[in-house]
Every structure is written in structure tokens, then in C-alpha cells.
Structure 1
Amino acid sequence: MSRGDARADGGTATGYAAAARRLTFSTRELRDFGVAWVALSVAFTVFFAGGGNTVVRNLSLGAYGTLGGLFLVSLVTAGVAFLLHELAHKVVAVRYGQRAAFRADYGMLFLAVVAATAGFLFAAPGAVHHAGRITKRQNGLIALAGPVVNLALAAVFAPLFVVGLLGFSGAALTVGTYGVAVNLLLAAFNLIPFGPLDGATVREWSTAVWLAAFLPSAVLAAGFAVVFVVRLF
């Protein structure tokens, strides 16, 4: 998710753009990325495990390996999906001369973990805030960058899903399934054109571009969800 405090009325001064285009990270930003990555991974671990009661039962039975494995899977699927989504917003924003930084929402991160214990999935870890003069097109492309990266990541995880589906590797099936599912859902959800979601900014710039991104994302996410449910039964 990206939130612009930008004036969409023209270009950026040359000196300012040169300074802004250096991709740098403050100590606070690195801390926010790290906390959000770990907190989201914990939330997804609890959710993937079946909720708080299941986690407590596994801990009481000493099934630390199971939970540890789910945490690692969450780090490389949900965690990476979030991290690269937000980094994409920042990279493109900086490319367009913006001052950009990720800020974690600690209240929402806490809520994500609490929701996971109740068996619900809720993730709004924070956003990349950017400021400076910018056009509507550039602002739309900044917003679009995150979901596009998630679609690309879904394609990266897809071969693991196929390999696992063919019975060659249970680990590949687990990582591939979660990797594809999380990234497709993240792309489709963020492209919903309402509120602070990326889709609202993209649609404000171009309805055609928004449709070209949202419709495939929604169809792929729904299709994969059907495949996943069918496999369960």
C-alpha cells in the first residue's frame, strides 16, 4: 500500500529529484520493515496452523518443529510478499523524485496477530508514504508497482506448486501453495478501488490500466482458491 502526500501538478525540480532518487533507508524504516515482516509472519503462522487453540495444543504437545516449519514458510511467502510489495512502492516513488519511506502500523500488526488467533486473516501492516510534486500517471504507477510485484512472485512460486502437485516434494507443495495463494490474494485485494488501497489510486489515474490489472488478479485469485478448496476435499 502506498500513500502519497504529493501534488499532482507537474514535474520535480532537478536538484530535488536527484537527491530523492537515492534509495536510502533510515534506521526507523529498517526497524519498521523488520517488525512488520516478523509480526505478519507470526500472524500467518497462527492462521496457517488453524488458529490460536491449535497453536496452544501444538505447543503443549511439544510440536515445535511443526510450528517452526510454518513460521519459516510464512517468512518466505507472506513475509516476502509484503516486503517486496512495499519495496516496489518505494523504489518507483524514489525513481520519480519522491521522498518515500515505509511506516509500520503497530496497532494493525497487533490486530493481525489477534485476528489470526481467532482464525481470521487480517493484514494491514503499514504503508509507504511519499511526498513531492508528481503527476497522476506517476502516482498511479507507484501504486501499481506493489500488486504487479505480487503477481510476479505468484509466477515465481507457481513452479514449486506444480512440482509438489505432481508428488515430487511435499515441502515444495506447501511453499508453492502458500506462495501463490498469498501473492494472488494480496494483488487482488490491494487493487480493489476503494479507500486507501492501491486500486483507488490506479483507477483515479486510468480506469483501463486498473481493469487490466485487477480483472486478471481477481480471476487468478478466485481460480486458485477453487483449486485449493477442491484439493482439501
Structure 2
Amino acid sequence: MTAKFKPGAKGTTKALYQRIRGDIEARITSGDWPPGYRMPFEHELMQTYSCSRMTVNKVISALAAAGLVVRRRRAGSFVSRPRVHTAILQIPDLKGEVEQRGERYAYRLIDLCKRVASMRDRSRLGVGVRAPVLAMRCLHEAEGQPFAIEDRLINLQAVPDALQEDFSTTPPNTWLVGHVPWTEAEHRITACNADTRTAEELKIEKGAACLVIERQTWRNGEPITSVRLTHPGHLYDLIARFTPTG
């Protein structure tokens, strides 16, 4: 059964189409409508917003084109599940990756703070001046050994519900993948030598080689999160099998 839908307050400058789309996107982003959730039918949205079927159809079509919803004939429209297969490089959730290898996974939150984006945050995440961000640093372990240091920024303007989540027990990527849809991602792979802090956290020698994987995601051009994963160089492999294309 679909929960009763209450629209946001009317705006004086926004077109009705924009207001309806904004309301729906907010419910998807906040997790009120999780992946797989059936949205109100078109006639229900028409009654809620006192608008035409054409307007509602235009909104849902745009959301479907953006990858946020899936339309099923006669069944309705449903919130899309995250489609990680659209990324050129797949980086699965670290918890799932470690457990799939048959190893024991452990996670620890090292630091977490809400702050106004610094100059460095703005450059890295692509947000504006005074934008609120959630910054965190986490340790992932496999079989009791450090597997990765996660340094993450979350744009709270795009994902306000991140403030309500207990990241001391839930890894941020696990929560984001399950609750926050995205439409574009970018990966960057580099190498570095461990500085003092990283060496201590990963239990490796200072200056040891590390593999660094950076990822940023957006939803319709709006930044969602930026993460930097640092792995001990000897513990992580990137393998891809592919075929030639025309």
C-alpha cells in the first residue's frame, strides 16, 4: 500500500512542474521513498496537486529519464534501485566485497563532523560557499587487518538525512548505496606513499605504497558525495575482463 503523499508548500516563483518534481525528488533522496517503493499513481498526483495528467506525466517521464524512477505498465512507477553497473569501473561496497571473499569484516568510525565546507571541501566536492557538509574518516578491516581508510564528504544539501544516520555502526557507503540514487559517477585511481597518520591507521611503514581510489557521485548535476579510499598496496587488486568493441 502506498503511504499518503503530502506535497510541500506552494512556491510563488516555481512552476508547478518544478514543484511537483522537487517534492518527489526530496522524498526519494531522504529515503522516505526507498528503492522499490511504488509512487502514487498519476491520478493521485493529479488530485494532490490539482493539475493535469500532462503535467504529472511530464514529471514522471523526466524522473525516469534521470534514472530516479522506473515505470511499469499497469503497475505504476517505482523508485529505482541504484544501478552500479552503469559505472565504467565497479567498486562494490567494501563490507560486501570482504564478506564475498569469505573474510571477516569489521568497521570503525574514526572521525565525524558537520561543518561549513572549507575551500578544500568546495574544491573536492563541488559545492558552493557556506554549503553544509558531513565529513568522516573510517577504517575498514578484513580478518582483523586494516583493509582501507575511507575519507568521505557528503553534501548535506543533497542528502540531509545523513545527519540522522548512526555511522558509528553503519558504513557510509552501505547506507548511501541503499538509500540515495545517483545519475553520474566518476572514478580516479592513483598511488601514493603513506603519510604518518595513514601509516599508523593501516599498520604499514611510513612511505609504503598505497592504492588510492577516488569516487564522486552526482544526481542531475548536484554533488552527492566524494570519497577517497586508501588501501595498502599489497592488499588490493583491480581486475577487469572485457571484450573489444567496434
The answer to whether TM tops 0.5 is no
Greater relative contact order structure (CA < 8 Å, 6+ sep): 1
TM-score, normalized by length of structure 2? 0.25
Kindly indicate which of the two structures has a greater share of residues assigned to helix: 1
Kindly indicate which of the two structures has a greater share of residues assigned to strand: 2
Higher Cα radius of gyration: 2
